[in-house]
A and B are shown apart, each in its own frame.
Chain A
Amino acid sequence: MAVITIDGHPLEVEPNLVIMQASDRAGIEIPRFCYHPDLRPEGSCRMCLVRVKGFARLTPACATPVADGMVVSTAHHDEEVAQATRGVLEFLLVNHPLDCPICDQSGECSLQDYYMHSDYGLHRSDVEPEEKVRKRKGINLGPIYMDSERCVMCSRCVRFSNEVSGAGELQFVSRGNHVEIMAFEDRALQDPYAGNLADLCPVGALTSRDFRFKRRVWFLDHADSICPGCSTGCNVRIDHAAGHIERLVPRRNPAVNHSWMCDEGRFSYKRPESLPRLTTPRLRIHGALRRASWDEAMAVVQRELASRPPRGASAVVASPMASNESLWVLGQLARALSSSPHLEYRCLADPSPDIREDALLRRRDKHLNSTGAGWLGLGTAAGLEALALAADRHELARAVILHGAPRVGPNEPIRRELLSRIVRGTPFVVVMSDVAEDWGDAAHVVLPVAAWAEEEGTYTNGAGTVQHGACALNPPGEARAALAVLTELWAALGGPRYGGPADVFQRGLMQCAAFEGLDYGTLASRAATAYPPEGRMPYGQEGFAGR
């Protein structure tokens, strides 16, 4: 351990850090453009200059390792450092178009924030527009919109493309005043991680084409969640407004996804727009599914499930898209229905070959909670195939199906086909689903439940990390949280009453060996504080004060 002093605060830090990392841990802000906690340091922008006692010149905090006894002063306390930072900022502003009112980065832009900082900003920048070096604007790079004039040459994007995603699609061209970021022939980026460029660019040079002009960032509300796209479970922040998700951005979690997420996951919030949602409970009356009230539908379900069928087994189909809490209650419900229920969540057939996987983040399993379902012992039959066969042979008396549509990849044709066989071959079927799909039309009761982001809960990713996802939206129409429906059903069958995900987790799930020692409150607050444990992200600010 090394003891250093930053702005008079003594700190004890590991000796392998640079000053920037030490100050970030202490919560002392040093302005930066090129430094990014998940990229190799470059030390090119000089925004992070600090004074170290005994050094002849100011030194970049992002490229100077700490040493025992070091005394550091930052721009907040040292006028000479502030003067130097102001100078660097002024150089960046010389050719900057200063078009914040139309720039999509506005509100989450480092350049804007630093300029507004009372220690090193707010000077008068007197360059006439005619004197500025003009560059190319409005270039369409597929998922990314590029504006070279706004670039501060921090090279984060180049390093990301070379080091992290390996696509190597961006490069600097020209020199000095005329240096510009460029993709070969302005072709659309092919990188499946290109969306991250918009997040990591500290200014508005690279912005997201999907989010472009949708909403000013200060109008967004935030909820910390987990990407529903695959079993990696990247930590994301859901930015939503007026009941719609406007974008997903990654949250930094060095243990899961660093600062990144894939584009499939990033745009997965759009899937529900193309799938019809269930909005009202429906009940089979005289052979046809008709709209019913929740009370009517639940009464029928409770009556049917409480009576013992004369022959045949009970089957419960779980969804690997549901939260640990819902799955645990579903498991308990299954055991209340029968001493040896058929419980299954897996579809053993190989999913479609065009599902993509790579070494960085994406996994073949496009469900966010398969591991949780496995841990909770929900795979006791030999796959949905076996259940479908049993239904074909009329061996099932009743079935409870919890279904959630996947967000990424093809919409599981095999799974839907198997579900359809189970529904058609079973005398009484309850379907709880977020989407209205035709396999459910032969069921007896269809209950609309919340989809991802409409319900709070925890999810277990493929590596066995249990993570918390908050609720961002209300479910559509009369749909209710799956957990609420399941706990109500279980209580009607004689189970205990539960008061929500935290209660289910603390009193129920923690009885399972896999979840022992975890705490719901800690998981939830970890989600809320995971933003910048090290290094300010270009987003993740507290937002526009006063709104």
Chain B
Amino acid sequence: MAKKDSRVVDVTAQADALGAGVGGMTAGFAVTLRNMVRSLPGRNSVTIQYPEQRKPYSRRFRGVHVLTLRPDGRLKCVACYLCATACPAECISIEAAESPDPAVEKVARRYEIDLARCIFCGFCVDACPEEALAMTREYDLTTRGRLTELRYGIEELTQRPQIADYGAGYRPHMQYPLVESYLPTNLPPPAAASSPEAPAP
């Protein structure tokens, strides 16, 4: 059953109108030429000199995760597994343990995101009841292998000086600026670390 109001493009009729010989070919080259001129450097070019130049991404960009910390440096994560439950790629693995601090019941002994399997949907961040997980705008993950290098554990997910460069990404429920409040003390001062193209966090 054909949809009544859908527009039918009769390609044969269009080709016939352009003629069989040089006409059609010229029309094609015209399109190519037009786009080539448009993208010449210095004009409204879409091409940038990556990786020296980078595009600013949206503040809702869903890049590599960070595990946020309490003021005393401990993980905020309470090992509730809600992120692992929400994750459609099943790439988060957590091991809970008894906390040495009597005021805290449960801590994550191991927390691992396999970023090679992650589809960066952000469901884990949505699910977290503790604001323990947020995303950054870091997107260029390059490694030599793909089995274990991209399995980020607590260490990799907390020690991320890169986020000063890339800026904070998707964290819809977080009321405070991620970068300032979270950055571990061992990071270089943000001024020295940020490059001119880096977007303000």
Contacts and interface: CB of A to CB of B under 8 A. Distances in A.
Interface string B79-95: 11110110000000000
Nearest to B80: A101
Interface in B55-93: 78-82, 84-85
Interface string A234-263: 000000000000000000000000000000
A216 B78 contact: no
Interface residues of B, number: 15
B80 A218 contact: no
A101 B130 CA distance: 9
Interface in B84-127: 84-85, 96-98, 102, 105-106
B129 interface: yes
B135 to A, nearest CB: 20
A138 B102 contact: yes
A187 interface: no
Contacts of B102: 138
Interface string A114-127: 00000000000000
Contacts of A219: 81, 85
A280 B85 CA distance: 37
Query: Of residues B78, B96, B102, which shows the largest number of chain A Cβ atoms within 10 Å of its Cβ?
Result: B96
B79 A213 contact: yes
A356 interface: no
Chief secondary structure at chain A's binding surface: loop
A97 to B, nearest CB: 10
A99 B78 CA distance: 10
A102 interface: yes
Nearest to A106: B80
B105 A137 contact: yes
A544 interface: yes
A213 B78 contact: no
A216 B85 contact: yes
Given A101-B129, A102-B106, A213-B106, A218 B85 contact: yes
A213 B130 contact: no
Contacts of A218: 85
A102 B130 CA distance: 11
Contact of B98 (A99, A137, A213, A544): A213
A216 B105 contact: no
Given A137-B105, A138-B105, A213-B106, A102 B79 contact: yes
Contacts of B81: 216, 219
A216 B81 CA distance: 7
Interface string A517-547: 0000000000000000000000000001001
B110 to A, nearest CB: 12
Contacts of A99: 105
Interface in A178-226: 212-213, 216, 218-219
A99 B96 CA distance: 16
B97 A213 contact: yes
Contacts of A216: 80-81, 84-85
Contacts of B84: 216
Interface in A128-176: 137-138
B166 to A, nearest CB: 29
Contacts of B130: 101
A205 to B, nearest CB: 13
B109 to A, nearest CB: 9
Contacts of B96: 213
A242 B91 CA distance: 15
A102 B78 contact: yes
A2 to B, nearest CB: 45
Nearest to A104: B106
Nearest to B128: A101
A78 B195 CA distance: 66
A547 B87 CA distance: 11
Nearest to B97: A213
With a 10 A CB-CB cut-off, give which of A138, A213, A216, A218 has the most chain B CB atoms.
A213
A309 to B, nearest CB: 55
A219 to B, nearest CB: 8
Contacts of A106: 80
A216 B97 CA distance: 13
Given A106-B80, A216-B81, 20 more contacts: A99-B105, A101-B78, A101-B80, A101-B82, A101-B129, A101-B130, A102-B78, A102-B79, A102-B80, A138-B102, A212-B98, A213-B79, A213-B97, A213-B98, A213-B106, A216-B84, A218-B85, A219-B81, A219-B85, A544-B85
17 contacts: A101-B78, A101-B80, A101-B82, A101-B129, A101-B130, A102-B79, A102-B105, A102-B106, A106-B80, A137-B105, A138-B102, A138-B105, A213-B98, A213-B106, A218-B85, A219-B81, A547-B85
Interface of B: 78-82, 84-85, 96-98, 102, 105-106, 129-130
- 6 interchain residue pairs of minimum CB distance: A101-B80, A213-B96, A102-B106, A216-B81, A102-B105, A102-B78
